[in-house]
Structure 1
């Protein structure tokens, strides 16, 4: 079975696609909330959600006694980067931009603000140490995603700075475009920090990286971004903003490619 076969199989069912649509509209729903939207038994909905979770398209989190379900768009981004990116990127992007523009006419600020917690997950054939280095070291950060250096003081209370890439500076961007503070640093397993894009004029959000290594040679990287009260930031990191690129999905897809093949997808 290829890496993307579970994704294709999960997306083949219309009920599962509808459940993903519901989570796209508002993330972090319980089984009860999702069941109320589908003409199906609770057991049937749970079974579909389990297939989506096994395919990596849904990530669950516990909040007290509740189990919340989050849409994880990274597997879909990986398919995009494997197939569309090679052959029809320009035409597909034009269609996607048109679709986004038409949908945006029917969206309100509340639609974006409702997605207060975003969860992204990717499996990378690399060591936990390599993934940690790629996230926290400036010499790695310039090789994937937005190619912008980062500076960390990896201790509680330490400073974080996201610097402008050379391309951004050529366009007139200031040296520091994102700032924050380290809350918890447990290399190579967990990094918790605040995160604020200075150009959006919003308050700090909370960003968590979790790296899990089960000894199989493949690590699971989960990025949880709590963007409560910051709708512009929510749109930026999800890729919904017109100038956001692919957001976290694109960044993690590119990181996976770099660590597994030594090459960025967008070089």
Structure 2
């Protein structure tokens, strides 16, 4: 442990370790070329690093290659750092993960219909407008194609995205970028997956809206219950479900 601390006390030796971290397995000539030191000076520093176990060497032909060995540094961390810092770093790591982990929303509904008819209701623009707040879709429904959502009530497009996967009448995956307000525009792109499973004389429809930022604006996904209820009502009764009237995209 003392040898490790002595080796790390010199800035040149720390720079040598940085260089080996950047590119491991370098020869003496390669390291000399990267430092304003004599060959003997680099050799002296490398010898101290080897004695501390921070550098190990291997022969390749006539060359001796130098490799960074992080184990002694890890032992220093475990003895002198982790027992003091771990509670703090664990809390910060958990916070970082919670802030950066994408959020996922899953919605499930059973509809008395066939997979083919349900698929048509999802992909047909005229039908979709009956249960999706009047929103219409322009798309050719092929992988890689763009789709755009519009409404006669809106001045411009309400949303856009790309078809990522398509397997009629079972699975549809699309990227989604909401455009109907500045607040939702700033949320960026998320993903919507439609999955249809026949169950007796009905279909189980699961809509997964994921890749959402943790704490994302609920306008992005808050309309799904109303949209899916409207879809079920239209397919089972042919009637348009009257829902609260705020214009939303999904």
| Shorter-chain TM band | 0.5 to 0.7
Counterpart of 1:253 (choices 219, 223, 229) is 229
> SS at the partner of 1:179?
strand
Specify the alignment match of 1:217 in structure 2: 201
Residues 232 and 187 of structure 1, relative CA distance in 2, 3 Å threshold? same
State the TM-score, normalizing by the size of structure 1.
Answer: 0.49
> SS at the partner of 1:140?
helix
In 1, Cα distance between equivalents of 2:205 and 2:166: 15
1:196 aligns with 2:172: no
In 1, Cα distance between equivalents of 2:126 and 2:191: 24
In 2, Cα distance between equivalents of 1:157 and 1:115: 23
Specify the alignment match of 1:41 in structure 2: none
> SS at the partner of 1:259?
helix
Specify the alignment match of 2:190 in structure 1: 205
Counterpart of 2:160 (choices 179, 187, 195) is 179
- Deviating beyond 2 angstroms after TM superposition, the runs of 4 or more aligned structure 1 residues are 111-115, 227-233
In 2, Cα distance between equivalents of 1:153 and 1:231: 33
Specify the alignment match of 2:144 in structure 1: 157
Cα deviation 1:42-93 (Å, max 9, x = unaligned) = xxxxxxxxxxxxxxxxxxxxxxxxxxxxxxxxxxxxxxxxxxxxxxxxxxxx
- Count of aligned pairs: 143
- Give ranges in structure 1 of 5+ residues lacking alignment: 1-110, 240-246
In 2, Cα distance between equivalents of 1:113 and 1:219: 35
Higher strand share: 2
In 1, Cα distance between equivalents of 2:111 and 2:99: 29
2:107–2:224 contact (8 Å) kept in structure 1? yes
Specify the alignment match of 2:239 in structure 1: 263
In 2, Cα distance between equivalents of 1:263 and 1:195: 28
State the TM-score, normalizing by the size of structure 2.
Answer: 0.53
1:112 CA drift (Å):
10
Residues 112 and 248 of structure 1, relative CA distance in 2, 3 Å threshold? farther
